[in-house]
Amino acid sequence: MEKSPVKRIQMLLFSFFAGLDRQLGFILLGLSAVGFFTFLSASQNTPVQIADELRNLALSFAVMWLASRIPPKWLEISAAWIYGLGIVLLVAVAVFGLIKKGARRWLNIGVVIQPSEIMKIAMPLMLAWYFQKREGIQKVWDYAVAMIILAIPVFLIARQPDLGTALLVFAAGLYVIILAGLPWKWILPFVAVGAIGIFLIIIFGGTICAHDIAWPFVHNYQKHRICTLLDPSSDPLGKGFHTIQSMIAIGSGGFFGKGWFQGTQAHLEFIPEKHTDFVFAVFSEEFGLLGNLVLIALFFALIKRGLTISASAPNLFTRLLGAAVTLIFFTYAFVNIGMVSGLLPVVGVPLPFISYGGTALVTLGFGAGILMSIHRHRRLVQS
């Protein structure tokens, strides 16, 4: 029987979207819409083009669609190779890398790439693969090896120096290790030490931030960042300026916000990086607490959905990978909002699907695609 053209297109669309997780899809559409509208306001009077943002969004969804088609098995097979490639590139960066603003982070292989970005996905892939391999026979030794697998790229990235990315890669790997079953008795002491450390820094911030005191293992500018976080007013025109101005933007937004395109802090250039890392300040100023609650609800829904997918994933590899990817989303969102609202030090972390920037959107789209792929393949494998 001859099918009508309408029916054909319907079927084509159906097969195109088949397997895309509908919930995840709508959440991501919602976030992208928020991102796009905020971008319109934030990019006013800047040379950044709307077309670029639309292209990036389209690219992100295309990558997501492609990734959702990749069977998890393929990822499992290639995990070690991707990790290995990442390490090779990081070593290459350390040797031949380009230096910009005092940091050696980039590699010119025809196009300029930043290998540490690859590690954000390669790290959980590798560790998930590793724990899948060792499934059922885990010993203390396995966790030690996992820590070494984690430590090598983190070390390489940290000495570029790029502390922000190093921490994110470390977090991504650590999620896998913890979810893989790292005993609580090993986790809790670290949590305790961390908590006490933070507490001490807050109490003794004034003393250790004194000008002539150098911190071990930490660059001076990094120390400065943390100290500025503790007391932004200590450097109101320098490093603290960003934090103070974004806090002013958020605070002056109030409950309902100043309205779309009405943010004075944003439009009078008081907010730094206003369409990239600090875009949350623009959103917050114009849409207020109400907008923020909606945005945080969207992120929470995204993460909840990711974790649900992971929990019902067919094997340890997909479970660990899915959960780690989801927690990376969480980390990005939490660290970004935390830093823009003056709760965490300023590290270069974009707000997922909201911040302008091709690389981040593509990476995050790829992560979302992996989650969808895991969801798509759950019954296929189980049955």
CB nearer to other proteins: pick between 151 and 296: 296
CB nearer to other proteins: pick between 115 and 367: 367
What's the closest the beta carbon of residue 96 comes to other proteins, in angstroms?
37
CB nearer to other proteins: pick between 249 and 361: 249
Number of residues in contact with other proteins, rule: CB under 8 A?
48
Task: Enumerate residues 163-202 that contact other proteins by CB under 8 A.
Answer: 175, 178-179, 181
What's the closest the beta carbon of residue 340 comes to other proteins, in angstroms?
10
**143 binds other proteins per the rule CB under 8 A:** no
CB nearer to other proteins: pick between 97 and 263: 263
**314 binds other proteins per the rule CB under 8 A:** yes
Query: For residues 100 and 92, is the Cβ–Cβ distance under 8 A?
Result: no
**42 binds other proteins per the rule CB under 8 A:** no
Binding mask 229-248 for other proteins (x = CB under 8 A): ----------------x-xx
**334 binds other proteins per the rule CB under 8 A:** yes
**376 binds other proteins per the rule CB under 8 A:** no
CB nearer to other proteins: pick between 21 and 285: 285
**261 binds other proteins per the rule CB under 8 A:** no
CB nearer to other proteins: pick between 106 and 334: 334
The residue ranges that bind other proteins (CB under 8 A) are 135-136, 175, 178-179, 181, 245, 247-255, 264-265, 268-270, 284, 288-289, 292-293, 296, 299-300, 303-304, 307, 310-311, 314-316, 319, 323, 327, 330, 334, 337-338, 341-343, 381
